[in-house]
Structure 1
Amino acid sequence: MLLLGSAAVWLLLTRPVYRIESDFLEREDKRQIDEWLRDKAVSPVGDTRRRAMLALSRIGNPQALELVIAGTTDPSPRVRAMAAFAIGQIDDSTVLTKMNRKSHPEAFQVLYDLLSDTERVVVSYAVEALGKLGRPKQFEMLLRTTAPLPITLAALVRMQAKESAPWIVELLRSDDQDVRRAAVDALDRLEIDFDKRLTKKLIERSRDRNAAVRVVSLKALARAKSTPGVLRAVFAATKDRNTQARIQAYTTLGLLRPSGTEVEIAAGLQDANINVRIAAVRALGARGDRNSLQLVRSLRFQSDPLSYAAEETTAQLADNDDDYFTGFTGFPPEYQSDAGKESFLRALSILGSPRAQDLFRKLKNFDGRSSANPDSKSSQPRFESDDYQRISRELNRRLMVHTTIGVFELIVHYDKARLTAEHFLNLVRQGAFESQRFVAVHPTLVVEFRAARPLFQARFPDRVRCEVNTEFFTRGSLGMFADPKDTGGYRFFIALADIPEFDGRYTNFGRLISGDNLISNITRETKILKITGI
């Protein structure tokens, strides 16, 4: 019997890693908790226990909480850290609200106990998880831990701890640029009222030596009073050497709506970067005066993204049909591209007059494009057992993305999200991204692109489960959006900034490794010509 027991242990410990990983992948994909997974949560191998905690966090079933809570006392700090992460995912307050269920009675206490852990990584994940659990009245416990301050600040935002504002304000003087950026972002996202003292501090940060700090400070100033000091700071930023800062400066001016400044804002129309010029057009549109209308209307009827933005803005500024329809009666031939048609239809919708509505209906009826929903339920089968084994052995891939404005390089991380990486590469093999444009551009946040909608003949599913992980979304991260059913498939994005609110929510499965200057020039007119490197 002793020999048989020893043989069983030997087989467990010598089973190929990829076979174990494939078993985890299959259970994650099927959202299945069984005896095998329960056994792995108490495996004698620390890495296996940690991987089991990650699997349980992805499955998200509250039945897993007993196993996960037990993992918080594991002798391995890596297992304790992942157990804390899993509690945050499963007992996230936003998830509880949607599912109409209550938090596990022990979840908060075990995370609180982990704040005194001797390992900083464990404390960090506990802080992050406590932020997801909510309970803003308990915020003070997060202010005295060893967790990195940016993680603490993100947790305070998640729990909406507005009373922590005085502590956050003091961090604006930090020597660490990441802390300064996170502090400004936290004050903005918590919607703290900006008094004169705090506004002055934000003006100072809008001149910070770090570009990311300047960008978030300019964004925050959009909620400040439109004082001469604020306006001087924002207008100065329109000449910033950093593209993102200039874009945000014009965006903020659009929200502040300073009077008598149309000439200064119009100077942005000469900027070298297309997204800065578009931001200037939108800033003019927000002013709502006749001078701005004349400036913007002169930019229409060209086959370029600036003209498309001007089309929408003209509709926003128009007081009547004559303001908008001067010079044409039907569909402008310059707007034949998908982005042009989209902007023109959006402009008609904004105008909303009977004449605009009639033209809108005619154009929509004439549009022969498929109305198929890319988020509809897949008819493709799930992965088979052999597929999971193959995918578990795949290595990271580097891809060259050829676009109409240049080439940039991505790395796809199989080791972070294997099913998503495989799905993305399968779409590349099918040519699903060829001739597809970037459908949404938020110049200081993300650029979004989608796969085409054909019925794929490949044996793999065209949708996959979300694979949340512990990777942070920073500038250049490659992610997959999720739909409400916890799956994704067609919608992908590249982050243009740190986005803590995306962490643990969307799948992070790769990043940009060259072409950083290029992604700031992407517009809705930019197309992917092909992706090579497989």
Structure 2
Amino acid sequence: MKKHILIAGVFMALAACQQLPQQSPEIAVNKFSDTTLQQIYTLQDERNTTELLPFLHHNKPKYRTEAAIAFASVQDTLAVSDLLALLSDTTTAVRKAAAYALGQIGHSKSESSIINHMAHEGKPEVQAELLEALGKLATQTGAEYLANYNATNPTSLAGQAWGLYRAGLRQQYTPKGVEQAVKLLSSVRPYEARLAAAHFLARTPRLDLTPYRQPLLTAATSDAAPEVRMAVTQALGKVKSSDKPQFLSNIAQSDTDYRVRLSAIRAMSGSEFSEIKPAIFAALQDKNINTAVAAAEFIQANPKGIEVEPLLQLLPQIQDARVRSGIIWVMLRNSQPQNRSLFNNRYKQQYQNARTPYEKAYLLKALSGDIENYSYIAEQMFAAEQPIIATTGMDALITMRQQSDFPRRLEADFADIFKRAVGSGDVALVGMAAAAIRDPKLNLRSQYKDYSFLTQAQQKLQLPRDMETNIELQRTLDYLGGKRESITPENPFTHPIDWALVKKIPEGQQVLLKTDKGTIVLQLFVEDAPGSVANFVELAQKNFFDNLYFHRVVPNFVVQGGDKRGDGWGSSDYSIRSEFAPLHYREGYVGMASAGKDTESNQWFITHSPAPHLDGKYTIFAKVIDGMDVVHQLEVGDKILELSLK
């Protein structure tokens, strides 16, 4: 009887199977269903030049392109000759990728070849990539070529402007190049060219832009793009003019974009405070918190001539702990001794009663406005249970030690504090103190009879988790040992790409990032940075980021999160590789934080505005597609409530 039932069951199962739809083959959700591409990216991840080089000569242009881009991350000079040969490839995408990789490698021997290829290259997109690559490795010869190049289309014109910018970052520029950049600010020029020219003028060191006051002022007040206005406004700081305080004050109080107002505040450095006081006080109360924070940082950096009483009257109207900290710091710095004692007691009491670690941290930093508070700050730093308080305390002590009027009577006390910090075992205190000890301006060499305490601290580190601290210690040991150049320790390769996970992540995968201030939607770039995206997704699936804080916000630059310590020194027990693709940091792009190439793990940041100086140095793995208004409101101490795949 049981056998009949079994046979009947078998027939029923077979019939049911016949009614099921046919199983379709696995659908590729991104390009890594291609095993050859997977192999190329694995070799990139392993930094395996020997096995990667043959792919530059593959018969399929798709693989030649991907192999060239891979060398933008590997950055091995052994690939230069092969990449130069690819500049003559018949496929446009291959030539463009080779140009990008050559720029990333940055070897000067590529300079003449790139210039020679420009004479024969007819595709605007390749011309632009070659020009920008030239800027990354240019000598004075390359800088002159970029200044005199005659672009015949908008794309190559933008490439020329970005080339000028890249060369300028390396202090390779000519007077003709500066003049060309100013001309590119004209409203008739394309946005890309104007943006690059503005950043060239803003970020190239030691430029005197006084002769170009009027065209800069015109661009800063009338350009349609706030990203251009903010950079040009920053460049106005390099103009020597009696009316500079006035026109910067006007920009700071009138522009509709907080990032431009903020740039105007920063550009006021060197001005008499009496001339900019209304603009600064308005900025301290700006409706955007980033402008207010920037103003507080400005008065800390430029406290001369700031009266205490107006700040004391303003303080009750300021609610943000970070802004209040800057104001209190200046009050302590500039007040009379009898008032300073009163202020110290008041703000020490507020420190004890503060509700959150971040509030306590900023009050501790505020107290560093009075040098006599150093022992109190050190005491609180070593006793702190929350890392952010200890790290901020150390930052405050280092800032105190760096002041030009630091009293020599306290040199030994501060040297003892730094030595104790190195021996504390806390990765942040160790790393920060080590960096301070090698600061040549502080002249701490003579304060220590031997440096064995640094070696002992280094031996206790856990790598790769503590690589940032290891780098700081090694640099300090090399400096104290008289080495001219310090070799940065390399991170061991411990975390290969999880291809099983990568192949499950759709191209354009979205992420919901819920914060105190609202929801942000990210789009992941799995095809450009598979290792970084897989790592981010894996952590998100483990709820790693939930309930962490945004521990770092640099106004008009980045907001940063992903650190369990909450102070920027927290890493994982592994590291992943840097992945550099021909992408550019614009507003709302998401990158991996690092302490140097191939040291990324769990921290990431979102940009407030274009940050081209980060291009090719920090992995881009996502961008904001909704909620940028929330990003611009985020403050230090705001919480990541939840991060999940959409």
Q: TM-score range by the shorter chain?
A: 0.7 to 0.9
1:19 to 35, 42, 48: 35
- Specify the alignment match of 1:394 in structure 2: 505
- Specify the alignment match of 1:97 in structure 2: none
Tell me, in whole angstroms, the C-alpha distance in 1 between the residues paired with 2:46 and 2:346. Answer: 58
User: What secondary structure, in the 3-state scheme, does the structure 1 residue paired with 2:346 have?
Assistant: coil
Tell me the TM-score normalised to structure 2 length.
Answer: 0.70
Contact 1:399 1:411 in 2 (8 A): yes
- Specify the alignment match of 2:521 in structure 1: 409
Q: CA deviation at 1:161?
A: 0.9
Q: CA deviation at 1:271?
A: 2.8
1:108 aligns with 2:111: yes
CA 294–45 in structure 1, closer or farther in 2 if over 3 Å, else same: same
CA 451–290 in structure 1, closer or farther in 2 if over 3 Å, else same: closer
Amino acid at match of 1:110: S
CA 268–83 in structure 1, closer or farther in 2 if over 3 Å, else same: closer
Contact 1:218 1:234 in 2 (8 A): no
Q: Tell me how large the CA RMSD over aligned residues is.
A: 3.0
Tell me, in whole angstroms, the C-alpha distance in 2 between the residues paired with 1:127 and 1:167. Answer: 15
Deviates more, 1:274-283 or 1:78-87: 274-283
Q: CA deviation at 1:154?
A: 2.6
Amino acid at match of 1:357: Y
CA 256–410 in structure 1, closer or farther in 2 if over 3 Å, else same: farther
Tell me, in whole angstroms, the C-alpha distance in 2 between the residues paired with 1:263 and 1:323. Answer: 27
Q: CA deviation at 1:511?
A: 0.5
- Specify the alignment match of 1:295 in structure 2: 311
- Specify the alignment match of 1:169 in structure 2: 182
- Specify the alignment match of 1:343 in structure 2: 362
Bigger Rg, structure 1 or 2: 2
What's the CA shift string for 1:212-271, capped at 9, x where partnerless?
A: 222112212223235236513432432322121222233334553442543443233443
User: What secondary structure, in the 3-state scheme, does the structure 2 residue paired with 1:51 have?
Assistant: helix
- Specify the alignment match of 1:157 in structure 2: 165
Q: CA deviation at 1:78?
A: 0.8
1:129 aligns with 2:133: yes
1:29 to 30, 36, 45: 45
Tell me, in whole angstroms, the C-alpha distance in 2 between the residues paired with 1:434 and 1:318. Answer: 43
What's the CA shift string for 1:276-302, capped at 9, x where partnerless?
A: 233333444434335356415752796
Q: CA deviation at 1:48?
A: 0.8
- Identity, % of aligned pairs? 22
CA 440–150 in structure 1, closer or farther in 2 if over 3 Å, else same: farther
CA 170–298 in structure 1, closer or farther in 2 if over 3 Å, else same: closer
User: What secondary structure, in the 3-state scheme, does the structure 2 residue paired with 1:259 have?
Assistant: helix
Q: CA deviation at 1:382?
A: 3.6
CA 242–484 in structure 1, closer or farther in 2 if over 3 Å, else same: closer
Contact 1:257 1:287 in 2 (8 A): no
Contact 2:575 2:599 in 1 (8 A): yes
Any residues of structure 2 matched to 1:302-451 within 5 Å, and which?
304-318=321-335, 320=337, 321-322=340-341, 324-325=343-344, 327-330=346-349, 332-353=351-372, 356-369=373-386, 371-372=426-427, 377-378=463-464, 382-383=494-495, 387-392=498-503, 394-395=505-506, 396-451=508-563
1:218 aligns with 2:233: yes
Any residues of structure 2 matched to 1:75-90 within 5 Å, and which?
75-90=90-105
Deviates more, 1:329-338 or 1:406-415: 329-338
Contact 1:234 1:252 in 2 (8 A): no
User: What secondary structure, in the 3-state scheme, does the structure 1 residue paired with 2:49 have?
Assistant: coil
2:203 to 183, 189, 192: 189
Tell me the TM-score normalised to structure 1 length.
Answer: 0.84
Contact 1:85 1:126 in 2 (8 A): yes
Tell me, in whole angstroms, the C-alpha distance in 2 between the residues paired with 1:253 and 1:28. Answer: 45
- Specify the alignment match of 2:582 in structure 1: 470
What's the CA shift string for 1:406-455, capped at 9, x where partnerless?
A: 1111111101111011111222223232232222222222222233269x
User: What secondary structure, in the 3-state scheme, does the structure 1 residue paired with 2:274 have?
Assistant: coil
2:56 to 25, 41, 56: 41
Tell me, in whole angstroms, the C-alpha distance in 1 between the residues paired with 2:579 and 2:462. Answer: 19
Q: How many residues end up aligned between the 2 structures?
A: 498
1:198 aligns with 2:310: no
CA 306–129 in structure 1, closer or farther in 2 if over 3 Å, else same: same
Tell me, in whole angstroms, the C-alpha distance in 1 between the residues paired with 2:179 and 2:243. Answer: 25
- Specify the alignment match of 1:144 in structure 2: 150
Contact 1:318 1:324 in 2 (8 A): no
User: What secondary structure, in the 3-state scheme, does the structure 2 residue paired with 1:448 have?
Assistant: strand
- Specify the alignment match of 1:506 in structure 2: 618
CA 316–180 in structure 1, closer or farther in 2 if over 3 Å, else same: farther
Deviates more, 1:237-246 or 1:416-425: 237-246
- Specify the alignment match of 1:100 in structure 2: none
Tell me, in whole angstroms, the C-alpha distance in 1 between the residues paired with 2:213 and 2:260. Answer: 18
Tell me, in whole angstroms, the C-alpha distance in 1 between the residues paired with 2:231 and 2:272. Answer: 19
Contact 2:511 2:523 in 1 (8 A): yes
Deviates more, 1:221-230 or 1:160-169: 221-230
Q: CA deviation at 1:42?
A: 1.4
